[in-house]
Amino acid sequence: MNQKRKLHVRDIILLALIGILFGAIFIGTDFVYNALTAMLTPFGLAPMANDLMMGLWVMAGPLAGFMIRIPGTAFLGEFLASVGEMFFGGQWGAATLISGVVQGIATELGFTITRYRYYNWITLTITTITTTILTFGWDMLRNGYAKFDFQLLIILFVARLISTFIFGGVFVKIINGLLSRAHVLATR
Amino acid sequence: MTAISVSHLTFEYDDQLPTIEDATVNIPSSKFSLLVGPSGCGKSTLLKIIANLYPDFGGTISSGSVKIEPNQRVAMMFQDPSQQFTLDTPRHEIIFALENLRLDHDTIDQRIQDALNFCNIESLADRQFGTLSGGEKQKCALAVMIAMNSDIFLLDEPFASVDPQSRNQLIERLAVLKDQYNKTIVVTDHDLTGYEEVVDEMYRFDVIRHRIEHLSEDEKHKVLADHFSIHHVPVTLPSDQEHSVIELRNLQLTRGTTTLADIDSFNFYDQQITLITGQNGIGKSTLFSAIAKLFNYKGVITLNHTNIQKIRPAKYHQQIAMVFQEAASQFVDVTVNEELELSKKHRLSNYFSDQMINDALNSLGLSGFGERVVYSLSQGQQKKLQILLMLIISPSILLLDEPLTGLDEKSITGIFDILKKSCEAQHQTVIMISHQLTKLSQWVDHHVLFSNQTLTYQEVI
Amino acid sequence: MNPTIKLALILIASLEISFTYNLPANLLVILISVTYLFYHRIHGKTLAWLVIVPIIPAFGLFTTIYFFSSQHDLATASALFTRMYAYVFAGASFSLTTKPLDLAHSLEQNCHLPSKFAYGTLAAFNMLPKIKQTIVTIKSAAAMRGVNLSWWSPHLYFKAILVAINWSENLAMAMISHGFVEDQPRSAYELVQVKARDITWMVGLLIVLQVPIVWQIMN
């Protein structure tokens, strides 16, 4: 694909639409999130629900980066999803934007490291790692992870890494495989 | 004067046969031109080429050219009323369009007023598009085109989801635009109702040769008149021996503020092929959605005397399956073979043997397409495959929404032959919606007319 | 208040409380946000929803710190608990009082955001009334073929993306046919201004927020 291609308005619409369509799919997971939190609370692992679900929230980014291979699309895919969520979705309002920016930068970084040349498992593994580390760092502050015991931190980090790898890696690879076999992105 | 001059145009989408081949047509300015032809014939593609959207948005012009009269602004109304606005209300949309043309505040105000006035939609100006009907949205789309002071109005199947009254109002407004403001109007449509008085020129797409022919005055009148002399074929009314399978009681369907249906009592009968007809935008598809539990309704719908609200969706959709109007929405996988395998895996009966499936593919002209990507098939091929996939599943009730879209005579015979045999062997019930009546009469047991918000069995088709 | 300034204020405040464990600062953010929401006549129901929804994650965080971490640090636990609510109320005081179109206009005019971002996003948001139904339709169409698609099925995302591709092309074509040209100047029907009053409020509120934070550092 042409890397010098410019980002057009239809790409922007597409990325925003993917964000809100995925958001609508995730509505079904609110229940899972709350149930997980409630189940894990007695074990002192309440925040783990957050880490286990993380892969879903960050899926739009790597997928966007794979679909439209222009620098910045991974960030934009993730960020526009958070803009949609700000106005129409969750209870977090504008605070969602900050998480959106952090997740967006984290994913984009993975593509930057592979210099927007490789779109394979290596790229997905790197985006998984950058996303896990950066979002985890942000949660150290935002969700007070910095105050947790070290042992708990390790558990949470591993949970997040696995979740991000499954949804932001395996799922993205499968979905992108379907898309490229269906040739629907050929004209872009 | 010629407004649009298409000469020897050949256009093709990627990896497909040309959609338009060596087409030459000159559309005069300040006239009302109507382009007719079956679905999937390339009408829509041609308009999008004229509007300069294609090939930017896909496909290639491999030869020929399209020329527009200089200094003429081209505007387009699209088939799906809900996917043509950027902003949330008609007023905002007009402002957006006029800001694009870099007009100032006062000019914009004036243009908004005039355009809303002309389309009689002042009361809609600040409503959310989501709350407007298809007809109201198309009036708003027309208002935007007028506010932009367009010269050439392209309308791509604009009435597909517009109620009959709005359709007449829109056609009347278009005639006024032509007569009093010298605008060029180009409409594509497959339904010829309401055009006799207003159409100046008529063009027909020849699907076999992918050409466009300009009809003479005589031919034009003949085609438009032919449309009215439908040959009525008698069909039977349901008899006492028939058992009801789906019952509608006090059913009310509303969209926004419009009541689409208000049905006291109506039954669909077991093991029959029932055809529902009715004008565009009247709510036929919505009725199907309600029966398929995809649309909220008031009243009661029962399946074999059980209220369908008491049946779990997953279980319900195994008994009653809809063949959606848009074929692609029913595909799950990627290639033809994968889709066939998927249907075989989940089928409810083994009626369709591998041999029968192969024969069916043969008679539908789909053999040898196994490795093709379903999304790259033509509209007609997608439709045939979709119906076959649903037949393989063998649910006891099938709802077919416009199953003939994009199909030629031979394909219709092919698909209905398979359908009829399957229904007889497996005692299935079929309910379908279609506007192509004459082609269907031989396959249908009962005919239901949807009009005045209710359903009535008819003695003729 | 100018949407961009309002957004900037809320983002700065949210970021700042993220870097501190300061109960009074959180309470201050909540207080100001709730006051602002009342000023905009927010419904009691909406307010109740804002209180209820974050309670599970907020309580979960509280218990993890207070009961399960080695220090049983009540101050940190309550700071984290209130911080969740500070995010929610600050966020809501923007998203519940600002229309997407007003933000787009402000970003376009005050921040010179390229119009393709502003209007491309708005065009996508315009499809929202159909989004939920679309997902239901995708699932049902598959269910009728015996395939159960749910949030852990890659095929559900695949089908959703196909819909998105289709819509994005139709919407982009409609935008272009309504005169939109990427990267070309547009006129502005209404000018969105940054008033001195907006800046004063922003700076004023940020200074107020520094009081508990500086106080904590001094002690």
Question: What's the full length of chain C, in residues?
Answer: 219
* pLDDT tens track for B198-216: 999 999 987 776 678 999 9
DSSP annotation of A6 reads P
Mean pLDDT (whole number) for A132-158: 92
* pLDDT tens track for B277-313: 988 788 999 999 999 999 999 999 999 999 999 999 8
Continuous segment of H or E residues that includes residue B157? none
C10 and C87 fall within a common domain = yes
C130 and C197 fall within a common domain = no
In this structure, what are the phi and psi dihedrals at residue B321, rounded to the nearest 5 degrees?
Answer: -125, 145
Spell out a b/e string for A80-102, using b for 16 or more CB atoms within 10 Å of the CB, else e.
bbbbbbbbebbbbbbbbbbbbbb
Domain that holds residue A138: 9-181
More confident site: B226 or C96: C96
Chain-chain contact of C177 with B51 (C-beta, under 8 angstroms): yes
Rg (CA), chain C: 22
What pLDDT does residue B230 have? 61
What pLDDT does residue B133 have? 87
Chain-chain contact of B130 with C180 (C-beta, under 8 angstroms): no
In a domain, C24, yes or no: yes
* pLDDT tens track for B431-452: 999 877 767 888 999 999 999 9
What pLDDT does residue A4 have? 58
Of the candidates B363, B374, B377, B457, which has an alpha carbon nearest to the alpha carbon of residue B412?
B363
In a domain, A1, yes or no: no
Q: Which residue in chain B has the smallest CA separation from A13?
A: B86
* pLDDT tens track for A90-102: 667 777 899 999 9
Residue type at A35 in one-letter notation: A
Residue type at A187 in one-letter notation: T
In a domain, C84, yes or no: yes
Chain-chain contact of A183 with B373 (C-beta, under 8 angstroms): yes
Determine the Cα angle at B274 with ends B428 and B416, to 5°: 65
The domain total for chain C is: 2
Domain chopping of chain B, boundaries: 2-228, 244-458
C94 and C199 fall within a common domain = yes
In a domain, A3, yes or no: no
pLDDT averaged per 10 residues, chain C (length 219):
96 92 94 95 90 87 86 89 93 92 96 96 93 92 94 96 96 96 95 95 96 90
What pLDDT does residue A2 have? 45
List alpha helices for B120-184, DSSP H. Answer: 134-147, 164-181
C203 and C127 fall within a common domain = no
Question: What is the predicted ipTM?
Answer: 0.93
Q: What is the pLDDT confidence band of residue B227, given thresholds at 50, 70 and 90? A: low
Domain that holds residue C81: 3-101+193-218
* pLDDT tens track for B407-419: 878 888 999 999 9
In chain B, which residues have their Cβ closer than 8 Å to the Cβ of A88?
none
C171 and C197 fall within a common domain = no
C131 and C162 fall within a common domain = yes
DSSP codes joined into one string, B231-300? ---B-PPPPTTPPEEEEEEEEEEEETTEEEEEEEEEEEETT-EEEEE--TTSSHHHHHHHHTT-S--EEE
In a domain, A68, yes or no: yes
Are B2-228 and B244-458 the same fold in CATH? yes
Q: Is the pLDDT of residue A1 over 50?
A: no
In a domain, C182, yes or no: no
| Euclidean distance between CA atoms B456 and B435, whole angstroms | 16
C82 and C150 fall within a common domain = no
CATH 3.40.50.300 applies to domain B2-228: yes
What pLDDT does residue C69 have? 80
CA distance A168 to chain B (A): 21
What pLDDT does residue B327 have? 92
Q: Nearest by CB to C189, which of B80, B86, B105?
A: B105
Chain-chain contact of A182 with B334 (C-beta, under 8 angstroms): yes
Chain-chain contact of C189 with B80 (C-beta, under 8 angstroms): no
**B328 in reach of chain A (CB within 8 A):** no
Specify the CATH class of B244-458 in words. alpha beta
Q: Nearest by CB to C151, which of A28, A94, A98?
A: A28
Mean pLDDT (whole number) for B97-121: 97
Whole-angstrom CA distances from C45 to B141, C49, C50, C97 are 37, 6, 9, 15
Mean pLDDT (whole number) for B13-28: 84
In a domain, A129, yes or no: yes
Q: Nearest by CB to B373, which of A10, A182, A187?
A: A182
- Work out the mean pLDDT of chain B and round it to a whole number: 92
C46 and C19 fall within a common domain = yes
Could you give the 3-state DSSP secondary structure of residue B37? Answer: coil
In a domain, A89, yes or no: yes
CA distance B376 to chain A (A): 8
In a domain, A2, yes or no: no
C94 and C197 fall within a common domain = yes
Chain-chain contact of C161 with A9 (C-beta, under 8 angstroms): no
C133 and C94 fall within a common domain = no
Chains that touch A (3 or more CB pairs under 8 A): B, C
**Range scoring the smallest mean pLDDT among A47-61, B99-113, B221-235:** B221-235
Q: Are C148 and A171 in contact (CB under 8 A)?
A: no
The domain total for chain A is: 1
pTM, 2 dp: 0.93
Could you give the 3-state DSSP secondary structure of residue B86? Answer: coil
Mean pLDDT (whole number) for A153-161: 96
Q: What is the pLDDT confidence band of residue B376, given thresholds at 50, 70 and 90? A: confident
Question: What's the full length of chain B, in residues?
Answer: 461
Q: Nearest by CB to A182, which of B14, B15, B375?
A: B375
Chain-chain contact of A183 with B15 (C-beta, under 8 angstroms): yes
Chain-chain contact of A178 with B335 (C-beta, under 8 angstroms): no
In a domain, A74, yes or no: yes
Q: Is the pLDDT of residue B399 over 90?
A: yes
